[in-house]
């Protein structure tokens, strides 16, 4: 009985406080106020409405999408509550109450307001953080921490049968390899959304590769556009952000991207027709790939939930995740293979070959600096840095998920 009361207390308290603070902050209008200045970092109020999940993943403002996300959130919260009540660990009712309370508060906001109101922003001076979070997210985070660091239960599960024969071995190998590839795709899907929301840290890429000098050298040579060399760094970073947003929105807004000529004050469209056509092809490609990534990530998450449920109800394993050493070996092997292949082919040739495969029989994709401000602002080194960022974040997410799986599915 005390476990039920403990869970209910944290659940109700987290929901009420998370929902109440929305109206208080909107009424107080504290947007832009610094809460805690630390010099090298600061905690600020930064109001945003998140129509996706964390980091804006799967974002869409439609009522049906918000209802779907709220429904999934409620379902997961019910699973968490059931787990919290069944677990014998002392901290689990508190963890489940905070996790479910934060999730239900966010689900309520989706249904009532069409999105989740985020307002806290923690930024470091060198790396401004584009993401905001709310009190419900803090409850979820604390619940996850309690979940991770609580002493694990040992149900003394029966070990799985050992495979016999070459056929069983190959089948098991293929089965595990498929799960590994699915997890990799899911992590890549998540990292794409996170980095897209963070504008791929283009400001840092711009400074690190001295793109200021590159743009100032080649922009005056452009045969179609004038005065781009006089634009500021902030305007160039904004243009990249607008291109990124448009590509993630099916190409909507590409034709609206423009800059101001400092000499005349005239508003000039940034992209020419050929560039518009190419970026629309890129947007179409992203639009086809994102649902695949979302479907694989969803199926994989449901598979992990099923494995966890099976383990505690049947008292035996349906599937056991690879160890951290084995996972690290897989990552090292895969990374070495990819880097080695790129080194053999050549980075530039690899970049061109990928474009050939993706955009054969589509619009022009190769542009000279004299004809394209897009190429001037985004030379090949930009995409190399973005690829490294995607790979790094993907691997970090991979190891985080493997660590969680190893702790609670082993």
Q: What is the DSSP string of 8-26?
A: HHHHHHHHHHHHHHHHHHH
Q: In what order do the strands lie in the sheet with 34-37?
A: 34-37, 41-50, 116-124
Structure tokens that stand for 269 in this block: 């469209």
Q: Is 118 a catalytic residue?
A: yes
Q: Is 227 a catalytic residue?
A: no
* Distance (Å, whole) CA 315 – CA 370: 67
Structure tokens that stand for 162 in this block: 């050992």
- Find the catalytic residue in 137, 281, 371, 385: 137
* Distance (Å, whole) CA 324 – CA 398: 10
- Find the catalytic residue in 118, 281, 371, 385: 118
Q: Give the HSE-up count for residue 65: Cα atoms under 13 Å, Cβ half-sphere.
A: 14
**Residue 330 Cα to chain centre, angstroms:** 22
Q: Tell me how many degrees the CA angle 285-291-293 measures, rounded to the nearest 5.
A: 95
Q: Tell me how many degrees the CA angle 293-353-207 measures, rounded to the nearest 5.
A: 75
Q: Kindly give the residue spans of alpha helices, DSSP state H, lying in 315-379.
A: 324-345, 347-359, 373-377
Count of CB atoms within 10 A of residue 33's CB? 10
* Distance (Å, whole) CA 361 – CA 277: 12
Q: What share of the chain is helix, strand, coil (3-state, %, to 5)?
A: 70, 10, 25
Q: Please list the active-site residues.
A: 118, 137
């Amino acid at each position: 009985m005390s476990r039920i009361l403990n869970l209910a207390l944290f659940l109700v308290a987290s929901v009420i406080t998370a929902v109440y603070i929305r109206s208080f902050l909107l009424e107080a209008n504290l947007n832009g106020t610094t809460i805690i200045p630390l010099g090298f970092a600061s905690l600020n109020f930064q109001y945003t409405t998140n129509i996706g999940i964390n980091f804006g993943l799967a974002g869409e403002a439609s009522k049906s999408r918000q209802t779907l996300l709220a429904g999934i959130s409620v379902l997961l919260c019910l699973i968490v509550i059931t787990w919290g009540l069944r677990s014998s660990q002392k901290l689990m009712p508190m963890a489940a109450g905070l996790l479910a309370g934060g999730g239900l508060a966010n689900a309520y906001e989706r249904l009532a307001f069409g999105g989740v109101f985020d307002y806290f922003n923690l930024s470091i001076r060198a790396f401004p953080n584009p993401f905001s979070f709310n009190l419900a997210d803090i409850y979820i985070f604390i619940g996850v921490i309690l979940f991770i660091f609580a002493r694990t239960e040992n149900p003394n599960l029966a070990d799985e049968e050992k495979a016999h024969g070459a056929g069983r071995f190959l089948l098991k190998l293929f089965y595990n390899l498929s799960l590994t590839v699915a997890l990799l795709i899911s992590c890549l899907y998540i990292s794409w959304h996170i980095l897209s929301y963070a504008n791929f840290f283009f400001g840092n890429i711009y400074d690190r590769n001295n793109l200021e000098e590159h743009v100032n050298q080649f922009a005056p040579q452009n045969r179609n556009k004038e005065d781009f060399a006089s634009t500021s760094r902030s305007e160039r970073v904004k243009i990249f952000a607008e291109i990124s947003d448009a590509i993630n929105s099916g190409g909507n807004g590409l034709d609206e991207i423009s800059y101001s000529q400092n000499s005349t004050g005239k508003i000039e469209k940034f992209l020419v027709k050929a560039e518009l056509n190419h970026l629309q092809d890129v947007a179409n490609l992203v639009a086809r790939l994102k649902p695949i990534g979302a479907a694989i990530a969803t199926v994989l998450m449901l598979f992990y939930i099923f494995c966890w449920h099976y383990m505690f109800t049947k008292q035996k394993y349906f599937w056991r995740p690879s160890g951290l050493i084995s996972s690290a070996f897989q990552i090292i092997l895969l990374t070495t293979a990819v880097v080695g292949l790129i080194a053999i082919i050549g980075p530039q040739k690899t970049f061109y070959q990928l474009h050939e495969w993706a955009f054969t029989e589509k619009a022009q994709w190769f542009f000279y600096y004299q004809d394209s401000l897009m190429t001037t602002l985004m030379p090949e080194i930009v995409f190399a840095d973005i690829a490294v960022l995607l790979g790094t974040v993907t691997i970090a997410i991979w190891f985080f998920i493997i660590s969680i799986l190893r702790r609670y599915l082993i």
